């Protein structure tokens, strides 16, 4: 298609066949799958996924790319392109409309808005079987970071409370047009089964995690002041003198329960 990348959409089109094949191999789509691609761009991943699954729904904001995608897909399989911002798409409702129990979602996400897209998808995790995303490597590192790491933070905790996060491989800048200034990485996210989900109020949990990491160098007794008093933190079995980065996701569940 050779479309001109638009900077305001954060477009970096994947063109390296080696990495396309690796991503599609990691997803391993099956004919019975209902695959949804976020931001198909020129279709580098779209058409191999469509060939394997037989049908695919793509969500694309750039209207100029849609005719080319539809034209090329005609001889490959059944492609439905929805022109929309993914943040405005009700993913659970989409699964119902597509007649799917759960969706398999993939995408090369715009780096400037990747975190909101991740949280949006996780909000609909019950309707999703798995997710495979290409993101800035730094973001993938943060998503999978363990407690005690300097990059462990709100993103790590909130995603790991809902999904198993598995970094897969790095994709160099030269695999894209135009090349980004940073390395990219592919990550797999598998929503946890219901019995492993947090047994705590989701809004309360969100507020505590956000407050705890707002000032990383301060102790929980300080960062949670007004949200959770030191005595309540202690009753949860956690030292109020600890910093947020030392707590596991399960520790934050105990704080929310307190």
Half-sphere exposure of 210 (CA within 13 A, CB side): 7
Taking every pair of Cα atoms in the chain, the longest distance, rounded to a whole number of angstroms, is 66
As a whole number, the mean pLDDT across the chain is 93
pLDDT score recorded for residue 226:
84
Can you tell me the mean pLDDT for 62-88? 94
> Among residues 196, 223, 249, which one ends one of the domains?
196
- Based on the fold, state whether residues 192 and 206 are members of the same structural domain: no
Is residue 195 exposed (0-12), middle (13-18) or buried (19+ Cβ within 10 Å)? exposed
- Based on the fold, state whether residues 86 and 208 are members of the same structural domain: no
> In this structure, how many other beta carbons lie within 10 angstroms of the beta carbon of residue 201?
12
CATH number reported for the structural domain that contains residue 192 in this entry: 3.40.50.150
In a domain, 55, yes or no: yes
- Based on the fold, state whether residues 165 and 41 are members of the same structural domain: yes
Statement: residue 111 has pLDDT above 90: no
Half-sphere exposure of 139 (CA within 13 A, CB side): 23
In a domain, 65, yes or no: yes
- Based on the fold, state whether residues 11 and 113 are members of the same structural domain: yes
Q: What whole-number distance in Å separates Cα of residue 194 and Cα of residue 5?
A: 41
> Among residues 167, 196, 225, which one ends one of the domains?
196
- Asked whether the CA dihedral 35, 38, 42, 45 is positive or negative, the reply is negative
**Any idea how long the chain is?**
258
- Based on the fold, state whether residues 227 and 155 are members of the same structural domain: no
Confidence of residue 27 (pLDDT cuts 50, 70, 90): very high
Binding residues for S-adenosyl-L-methionine: 12, 14, 39, 60, 85, 108
Name the DSSP letter for residue 109: -
- Based on the fold, state whether residues 132 and 21 are members of the same structural domain: yes
Count of domains in the chain?
2
Classified as helix, coil or strand, 120 is helix
- Based on the fold, state whether residues 172 and 244 are members of the same structural domain: no
In a domain, 184, yes or no: yes
> Among residues 196, 217, 242, which one ends one of the domains?
196
Look up the domain containing 218 and give its range: 202-257
Can you tell me the mean pLDDT for 72-82? 95
In a domain, 95, yes or no: yes
Confidence of residue 174 (pLDDT cuts 50, 70, 90): very high
Confidence of residue 88 (pLDDT cuts 50, 70, 90): very high
Q: What whole-number distance in Å separates Cα of residue 144 and Cα of residue 116?
A: 17
- Give residue-wise pLDDT tens across range 186-233: 999 999 999 999 998 899 999 999 999 998 889 999 999 988 899 999
CB 188 within 8 A of CB 143: no
Beta bridge pairs of residue 56: 35, 79
In a domain, 1, yes or no: no
Q: What is the residue-wise DSSP string for 12-33?
A: -EE--HHHHHHHHHHH---TT-
- Based on the fold, state whether residues 129 and 221 are members of the same structural domain: no
CATH number reported for the structural domain that contains residue 225 in this entry: 1.10.8.100
Q: What is the pTM of this model?
A: 0.92
- Based on the fold, state whether residues 191 and 234 are members of the same structural domain: no
Name the DSSP letter for residue 102: S
- Based on the fold, state whether residues 33 and 155 are members of the same structural domain: yes
Q: What whole-number distance in Å separates Cα of residue 159 and Cα of residue 164?
A: 8
Burial per residue of 139-169, b for 16 or more beta-carbon CB atoms within 10 angstroms, e otherwise: bbbbbbbebeeeebbbbbbbbbbbbebbeee
- Based on the fold, state whether residues 53 and 155 are members of the same structural domain: yes
- Based on the fold, state whether residues 169 and 53 are members of the same structural domain: yes
Binding residues: 12, 14, 39, 60, 85, 108
pLDDT score recorded for residue 39:
93
Confidence of residue 11 (pLDDT cuts 50, 70, 90): low
CB 171 within 8 A of CB 109: no
In a domain, 2, yes or no: no
């Amino acid at each position: 298609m050779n479309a001109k990348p638009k900077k305001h959409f954060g477009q970096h089109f994947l063109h390296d066949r080696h990495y396309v094949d690796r991503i599609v191999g990691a997803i391993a789509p099956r004919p019975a799958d209902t695959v949804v691609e976020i931001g198909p761009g020129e279709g580098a991943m779209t058409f191999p996924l469509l060939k394997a699954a037989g049908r695919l729904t793509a969500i694309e904001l750039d209207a100029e790319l849609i005719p080319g995608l539809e034209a090329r897909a005609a001889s490959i399989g059944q492609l439905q392109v929805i022109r929309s911002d993914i943040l405005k798409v009700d993913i659970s409702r989409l699964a119902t409309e597509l007649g799917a129990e759960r969706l398999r979602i993939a995408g090369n996400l715009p780096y400037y808005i990747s975190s909101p897209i991740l949280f949006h998808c996780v909000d609909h995790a019950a309707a999703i079987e798995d997710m495979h995303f290409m993101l800035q490597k730094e973001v993938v590192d943060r998503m999978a970071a363990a407690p005690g790491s300097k990059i462990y933070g709100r993103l790590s905790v909130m995603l790991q409370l809902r999904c198993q996060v598995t970094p897969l491989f790095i994709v160099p800048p030269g695999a894209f047009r135009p090349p980004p200034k940073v390395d990219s990485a592919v990550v797999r996210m598998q929503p946890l089964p219901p019995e492993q989900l947090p047994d705590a109020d989701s809004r309360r949990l969100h507020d505590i995690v956000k407050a705890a990491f707002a000032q990383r160098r301060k102790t929980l007794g300080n960062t949670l002041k007004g949200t959770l008093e030191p005595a309540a933190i202690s009753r949860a079995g956690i030292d109020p003198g600890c910093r947020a980065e030392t707590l596991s996701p399960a520790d934050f569940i105990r704080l929310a329960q307190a």
